[in-house]
Amino acid sequence: MLKKIECFIQPSKLDSIKDALFRAGVEGMSITDVRGVGRQRGYTKDEKPKKEVKFLPKEKLEVVLDENMVEDVITLIKKLARTGTIGAGKIFVLPVEDAVRVSTDEVGRSAIH
Amino acid sequence: MKRNKMLNPWQMALEQFDSVANRMKLEPGVHNILRNPKRCLIVSMPVKMDRGEVKVFTGYRVHHNISRGPAKGGIRYHPDVTLDEVKALAMWMTWKCAVVGVPYGGAKGGITCNPKEMSRGEVERLTRRYTSEIISMIGPERDIPAPDVNTDSQIMAWIMDTFSIDRGYSVPGVVTGKPLSIGGSLGRTEATGRGCMFTVVNAVKYMGLDLHRQRVAVQGFGNVGSVVAKLLFDQGCRITGISDVDGGIHNEKGLDPYKVEKHTQKNGSVTGYRETEAITNKELLALDCDILIPAALEGQITRSNAGRVKAKIVAEAANGPTTPEADRILKEKKIFVIPDILTNAGGVVVSYFEWVQGLQAYFWSEREVNLKLRDIMEKAFDEVYNLSKKKKVSMRNAAYILAISRVAEAHRIRGLYP
């Protein structure tokens, strides 16, 4: 079955992660510039948190793959996205019911490989 | 179509099994276990016919092997049903369930009769009597029958009813292929045809061909043939030939199987459909097409006609349509044969889903059933295909190797009692 990985990472980590994903056999992905916060509500370790939430720039990377690739891809992203401090990001795994390649009518795994 | 009187389906099934088991160097003990059906029941059923006379019918239920799980297999009503045919069909069910990875063993049942010459009342009485005769063998945890040639969801409903009345409470899990109103699964009636369509689509993909250019001929227009013809038509294939027990039709420009089906419902057969050339079943098998789908009875492609098959792909929607000798001829002609135990496994996969949904008492949407079916059929096809490439053997041999090794492993791990 197909799964979608949505991960939120620091912008500085994008290049190394995307290269590694292509090397791992991922054939397509999209990125979106987003702003986001986690538990710290946008304040770094050294800042004193105020009431206002500080949305910080992140990169959202989305890729759909066969579920047998999910664990390896998660391991890869985790390794490369870590920053040594808070704010490294999140990875979400979602079920994908189906996929369709627009140009050829291929469906399912054939649509993403 | 003619039943080959010389053909013994059990001998054929044994030959298919032995040849692979020998090459796999299967341990003699396990080889012998798998060669012999675990149990066979022959029953005599007296039925009062509409005109008053009592006719005695012979019925069978065979469990071939139940090491991987409860027995599973359909019930066939046909004049040519014999113990040997039921044994062969039961053995093919064991391999089929193992190839697609559903946790069942192989079984089959049958009654020697011609339901086309019987009234619905006679068929019902025969069905209920058969159920009571095999009642000790069947049950939701032990043996779960299903439809096959000339049986349908109504007959499954009568079996479920008879079993439930005997128990004193409703046991929907005793059969699959039930009507929706009593616990049937959405997608079940089309499942075998749909599974066959998935294997054809995969074969065409692996051969690098364009689905839209494929000319398809289907032998048989029943439970399986009519569905696979419609689904491949929907995928863009050109259906150039269709046949049933009364004969066949051919139109090189292509037929609309939906319209042919309406014609069949009105006239009882595909024959006579407009703007077609009348052909025999024999001629359909030899049609100049790309994909040939035998979807009727066993033993249709034999030594005497295999040489005339012109299709590039033969997808065995029926059980045992190709004899071992014909298999060798088709191999020499480099025809890609997708074996029955893979091609027609869609039915047992959705039967398994029906059983699972029944156990959960929670029913899935048709979309969910079909997506899960596609996933299982694609994975099974990939496994068989990759093994056939790796070991440089035919798809049939690869499927058998996979199936036999899974059943043998169940035996090894369970050990021998006592």
What domains, with CATH codes, occur in chain A?
Answer: 2-39+56-112 (3.30.70.120)
Q: What is the pLDDT of residues B213-252, one digit of tens each?
A: 899 999 999 989 999 999 999 999 999 999 999 999 999 9
B195 and B172, same domain (yes or no)? no
Which H helix or E strand runs over B167? helix B153-167
Residue-level pLDDT at A105: 82
As a whole number of angstroms, the distance between CA A78 and CA A7 comes to 10
Q: Say if the Cβ atoms of B378 and A1 lie within 8 Å.
A: no
For residue A40, the distance in angstroms to the closest alpha carbon of chain B comes to: 40
Across chain A, mean pLDDT equals 93
- Give CA separation, B67 vs A4, B100, B112, B417, in Å: 37, 16, 28, 12
Share of chain B above pLDDT 90, in %: 96
B45 and B163, same domain (yes or no)? yes
Q: Report the range of poorest mean pLDDT among A30-34, B42-46, B256-260, B362-366.
A: B362-366
* Contacting residues of B for A113, CB less than 8 Å apart: none
With an 8 Å Cβ cutoff, is A4 touching chain B? Answer: no
Q: What is the mean pLDDT of residues A57-73?
A: 94
- CATH number of B85's domain: 3.40.50.10860
Residue B53 domain-assigned (yes or no): yes
Query: Nearest residue on chain B to A68, judged by CA atoms?
Result: B379
Residue-level pLDDT at B76: 97
Domain that holds residue B257: 191-343
Residue that is written with structure tokens 């239920």 in the block: B61
* Contacting residues of A for B375, CB less than 8 Å apart: 1, 108
Residue B306 domain-assigned (yes or no): yes
B224 and B92, same domain (yes or no)? no
* Cβ neighbours for B319, distance < 8 A, ≥ 6 positions apart: B88, B89, B92, B298, B340, B344
With an 8 Å Cβ cutoff, is B383 touching chain A? Answer: no
Q: Report the range of poorest mean pLDDT among B81-95, B129-143, B303-317, B358-372.
A: B358-372
Q: Say if the Cβ atoms of B371 and A110 lie within 8 Å.
A: no
As a whole number of angstroms, the distance between CA A112 and CA A96 comes to 12
CA atoms within 13 A on the CB side of B315: 31
B73 and B200, same domain (yes or no)? no
Residue B88 domain-assigned (yes or no): yes
Name residue A33's amino acid.
D
Q: Where among B310, B343, B376 does a domain terminate?
A: B343
Q: What is the pLDDT of residues B284-305, one digit of tens each?
A: 999 999 999 999 999 999 999 9
Q: What is the mean pLDDT of residues B123-144?
A: 98
For residue B235, the distance in angstroms to the closest alpha carbon of chain A comes to: 9
Q: Where among B278, B308, B343 does a domain terminate?
A: B343
With an 8 Å Cβ cutoff, is A3 touching chain B? Answer: no
With an 8 Å Cβ cutoff, is B166 touching chain A? Answer: no
Q: Please give the tally of structural domains in chain B.
A: 2
**Confidence band (pLDDT; 50, 70, 90) for B320?**
very high
With an 8 Å Cβ cutoff, is B375 touching chain A? Answer: yes
Q: What is the pLDDT of residues B137-194, one digit of tens each?
A: 999 999 999 999 999 999 999 999 999 999 999 999 999 999 999 999 999 999 999 9
B158 and B195, same domain (yes or no)? no
Residue B405 domain-assigned (yes or no): no
**Active-site annotation of B, residues:** 108
B213 and B240, same domain (yes or no)? yes
Q: What is the pLDDT of residues B344-357, one digit of tens each?
A: 999 999 999 999 99
Predicted confidence (pLDDT) at residue B135 exceeds the cutoff of 80: yes
Q: What is the mean pLDDT of residues B129-139?
A: 98
For residue B375, the distance in angstroms to the closest alpha carbon of chain A comes to: 7
Question: DSSP secondary-structure letter at B386?
Answer: H
